[in-house]
Amino acid sequence: MKTVKQVGVVGAGTMGAALAQKFAQENFQVILADREMLIVEKGLANIRNMLNEGVEKKVFTPEQAGAFLSTIKGSDNLSDLKYCDLVVEAIFENFDAKCDLFKTLSSVLTSDAIIATNTSSFSITELAQSVKNPERFIGLHYFYHAAKNRLVEIIPGEKTSVETFEAAKLFSVLSGKDAISCRDAYGFVVNRFFVPWLNESARLLEEQVANIPTIDDVCMKAFGIGMGPFALMNATGVPVAYHSQKTLEVFGSLYKVSPKLKEQTELKQNWDLQGDVSQDEEVRKQISDRMLGVVFLVCSQLLDEKVCRAVDINRGARIGLQWKNGPVEIMRKAGTDAVQKLIATVADLYQTPKPAAVGNVFWEMRYVDLQKKNNVAIITINRPEDLNALNEEVIKQLDEKFDEAEKDTSVKTIFITGSGKAFVAGADIKFFVNHIRKNTIHEIETFTAFGQKVYSKIDNSDKQVVALLNGLTLGGGLELALCADVLLASPKAMMSFPETGIGIYPGLGGTQRSARKIGKPLARYLIHTGKLLSATEALDMGLIDAIIPNEDVLELLSGEKPIPDPKVIGLSDKLKNIQTFFETNSTDQLLSHTYTANGIKEEDAEKLFNTIKHKAPIAIQIADKLIQEGRGSDAELAYLKEIFSTKDALLGLTSIGKKVEFSGE
């Protein structure tokens, strides 16, 4: 497979500059090219400003920002791209201009260099006709602002090779993007429903259903977003919406450009967002029904045409558009009858056939994927829009996929990993909060018992199980990882047991498997303090077995590279002292400030005390009892009702990221 180390970006405008910045931040060598150095310098200045903003917000250090900028070279000569492994085209949306560029790139680049287009509207297959060796051509559609927005749509054309597609997927992971893939169809996934949504708002305006502020306000509430369609068009450019909609007109009358949108584009003006918001319920319902109906109809067409999966539609909206709920989630909540009614109204209005892909069978969300290569099975938890958080669906699908891998006699090794920037960032907190408030804690007990059953199956498998921690690994995610025979982590992986800081304790075997892996004193240290460990710190402690460079991951997963032997690293003096501190001080001493330092400095002991005193005391006491007794994971189930009935649990679970004072109630 093609390994991407040096990346070219052609087009130094807003999108191209943002892409160059993002690729540099992820340790790629980058060449930013355009037809004039004046344009390139402007793009580099925009990158510099963005990095400075990141320094001010303490996202980067000044040294990091300088290092990122130093890896980007500007050029007005396309020949400078000749040694690039991948070149992303990010020029303006003009079909002929893009084709001319691809012809030039074909003559400049090596024959195996990947050429990608960031087009938001044109056919990948049609653009590929301008490329020599079109099997190395692919669509990589990024979203604004590309240095921050994690979504990318991967679109293979008819002649795109499997190797190019796989290389593009790997590059997306290594460049910090969450990818969805789809068939080559105008609008791909997100723009196919998002642009008609913008267009429909202009139609409602021209029909005088309501003014702009009212339409924006209704849409913000109906879709759980921070900006309405008119405000969004102002932010991204009214002409962008117009030209994107023109491309979609091939799909019929529903997609015909609104005269009002055309008029506003020709005026070269933003929409006027001023005015009073109407609270007329009938008007607001009319707006909501039309806007929901259009999105439901288009998304159902996408499923009908098998352009993508339901989960891709949802992920595209959640990550790319930052909608609180994706279209499929909204449809599932509304129910089949309500969705069909809204679709029928819009379909009749535009004399469009009603799609068949409506109902729960079409709205199934697949969050866990299984891939088999040679004698290796790779299970990927694929819910990056929620940091792969565990809920009932995820646990059930994990169980199904692990069973499938377990029963396959050709599979010798099972890898478990995550997509995006997390392995698994714990359990879905909303699930716990909802059941506490409904006084249905027995549902939490049922969920946890089933999770323990699945984890035990993984722990006791006769096959070699390897956890590959690709990013953030918290709570239930770390508990899952500890079920594996071998724990490997990427250099950027971070892990912790944060439960006692949110009012609960690890309930999926964390109190038992952590003690088994690193001993009871250090398990107490991790669980009582909620210490967030880097991959290096986790390796030093013996919590993980090795750190794997990102460039070695693919060969490891394919079986081309052997699984490394666990590194035996003796505890540092600092960790030995921490171990002694937690071995010789009881929980009562730690909570009551009557501990003895026992080898560590008094100020370090005080820091540990100050950390622990801000955790939930009941949760710490239960966790400590479970660790000390070591009666197995099942013992954790006995205290679930007690802990989730506390005021501390509800306070902690509803205050994630905030400082709280636990009462011990």
Give the residue numbers annotated as catalytic, written as ranges. 479, 499
Helices assigned H by DSSP within 84-226:
95-108, 124-128, 162-174, 190-206, 212-223
Q: What angle do CA 403, 406, 410 make, to 5 degrees?
A: 135
Preceding peptide of 593 cis, ω within 30°:
no
Query: Residue 576: CB partners within 8 Å, gap ≥ 6?
Result: 599
What is the C-alpha separation between 633 and 333, in angstroms, rounded?
35
Q: Do residues 18 and 151 touch, judged by C-beta distance below 8 A?
A: no
| CA distances for 309 relative to 88, 365, 388, 550, angstroms | 26, 8, 18, 28
Give the whole-angstrom CA distance, residue 405 versus residue 414: 7
Widest pairwise Cα distance in the chain: 80
- Tell me: cis bond preceding 614? Omega within 30 of 0 counts: no
Q: What is the DSSP letter of 318?
A: I
3-state DSSP assignment of residue 141: strand
d(CA 366, CA 313): 12
474 in helix, strand or coil? strand
Beta strands in 451-590 (DSSP E): 464-469, 472-474, 486-489, 494-496, 533-534, 546-547
Q: How far apart are the first and last CA of the chain?
A: 57
> Amino acid letter at 322?
Q
64: which residues sit within 8 A by CB, 6+ positions away? Answer: none
Least Cα distance to 244 among 144, 154, 101 occurs for 144
Amino acid at 126: E
Give how far the C-alpha of residue 304 lies from the chain's centroid of Cα atoms, to the nearest Å: 26
364 contacts: CB under 8 Å, gap ≥ 6: 310
User: Which residue do the tokens 């590059």 mark?
Assistant: 171
Question: Two tokens at 278?
Answer: 């109407």
Cα-only R_g, the chain: 27
Residue 650 has which token pair? 């509800």
DSSP state of 565: P
**52 C-beta neighbours (distance < 10 Å), count:** 14
The string of DSSP codes covering 421-469 is: TEEEE-B-HHHHHHHHHTT-HHHHHHHHHHHHHHHHHHHT-SSEEEEEE
Q: How many CB atoms lie within 10 A of CB 562?
A: 8
Chain-centroid distance, C-alpha 334: 25
Is the Cα torsion angle 623, 418, 223, 348 positive or negative in sign? negative
Whole-number Cα distances in Å, 193 to 47, 291, 343: 31, 11, 13
Question: How would DSSP label each residue in 10-67?
Answer: E--SHHHHHHHHHHHHTT-EEEEE-SSHHHHHHHHHHHHHHHHHHHHTTSS-HHHHHH
Q: How far apart are CA 592 and CA 634, in angstroms?
A: 29
Residues 6 or more apart in contact with residue 261 via CB below 8 angstroms: 198, 199, 202, 238, 241, 242, 245
